[in-house]
Amino acid sequence: MKVGFGLVGAGLIAPFHARAILASGKGELVGVAEPDEARRAKFVAQFPCTGYASLEELLEDERVQVVNVLTPNHLHFDAVMKAAGAGKHVLVEKPPAMSLREVDEMTARCQEARVKAGVVLQCRTRAAIQAMKRAVEQGRFGRLLHADTYMKWFRAADYYRMDAWRLERRFGAGVTIQQAFHYIDLLYYLAGPVARVEARMSNLAHPGIELEDTLLAFVDYRSGAQGVVQASTALWPGTDVRIELNGENGTAIMVGERIETWRFRDERPEDDLVRTYGRAGAATGATGAADLGFEDHQRLIEDMIEAIETDREPMIPFTSARATLEWALAMYQSARLRAPVELPLADEAQVW
């Protein structure tokens, strides 16, 4: 029997989830909850399923076992709490919520309800990232010296104006939370916890929009490694993201989803295969919000199905994504204070 999925929100990312569920073979797209009637009708016409005007109606559908929370970022908390309360497993788009307190409450609620809870940080599943992760765990870099991300993307002003929430930083808009979060997360996933950040945020190319479209940050990891986070949606026409790891004994660089550089002092037989990972022409979001494939999402859909079937934790639980959120919030606080910020955050209420 297939696992039934219900989507909350029929916005920009919803078709990617729908395609991922359908392609999984073991998932069934049961319904979508979307208060905007026109948006709901358009989605149901494209992906035949039951349309609901509210989350509450969707939660009453016994066919729905997993709720994919695709609402604006500041509404994730409410949707997850209600879904868990109804006994539904949840898969929530990043960031899991807009505060650490909310993430902790969501985690506790899902544990009490004995439901699976995962976060959509699909870039972790890429073959290139998994190869880099294995190399870190195997000690191939020796002492890690640098872990950096460079995201030089472009979004037109219309992107920010398509939905009201995209104009409000506290609702989860702005390049740091909305786009760069994925790549900040990859640095946490690969290089580990952060001790200190110093960030600067600015708006370089979107006048009249009160958000940062550019982030520059220096990072000190607890391991002793250093790093740089450079992210922007101001840089036309947009180029693929780069994730770079440099250590005493090796360097690995991912561009887009492909391995560009893979060099270690201890060359191994599998290295030639690793150098072929990824597709040069794969769309990874650099030039437009919809310029993406759904394959990374599909891996998380399939992982959630397997987690339910085998009664294990999903690949990316709330607790893992919490660390990335704390890092992002620390960068906002640093930019506001114009000073370095130590982690863990002493008082997240001071972030905004």
Residues 112 and 201 in one domain: no
Query: What's the pLDDT at 163?
Result: 86
Residues 225 and 85 in one domain: no
Residues 278 and 175 in one domain: yes
Alpha carbon distance 149, 175 (integer Å): 14
User: How far is CA 120 from each of CA 192, 200, 284, 320, rounded to the nearest angstrom?
Assistant: 19, 27, 15, 11
User: How far is CA 263 from each of CA 140, 251, 266, 283, 331, rounded to the nearest angstrom?
Assistant: 10, 5, 9, 25, 32
Query: What's the pLDDT at 197?
Result: 98
Residues 104 and 15 in one domain: yes
Query: What's the pLDDT at 169?
Result: 79
Residue 273 covered by a domain: yes
Residue 261 covered by a domain: yes
Residue 352 covered by a domain: no
Query: What's the pLDDT at 84?
Result: 98
Taking alpha carbons only, the member of 72, 93, 73, 91 closest to residue 83 is 91
Query: What's the pLDDT at 172?
Result: 83
Query: What's the pLDDT at 290?
Result: 77
Stretches in the chain below the pLDDT threshold 70: none
Gyration radius from the chain CA atoms: 20
Residue 194 covered by a domain: yes
Query: What's the pLDDT at 120?
Result: 98
CATH number at 193 reads 3.30.360.10
Residues 12 and 93 in one domain: yes
Read off the DSSP letter of residue 284.
B
Query: What's the pLDDT at 284?
Result: 87
Residues 46 and 139 in one domain: no
Domain range holding 223? 125-285+325-337
Residue 343 covered by a domain: no
Query: What's the pLDDT at 292?
Result: 83
Query: What's the pLDDT at 205?
Result: 96
Residue 206 token pair: 């979107």
Query: What's the pLDDT at 347?
Result: 83
Measured N-to-C along each axis, helices 318-337 and 100-113 cross at an angle, to the nearest 10 degrees, of 170
Residue 233 covered by a domain: yes
The SS3 call for residue 4 is strand
Query: What's the pLDDT at 346?
Result: 85
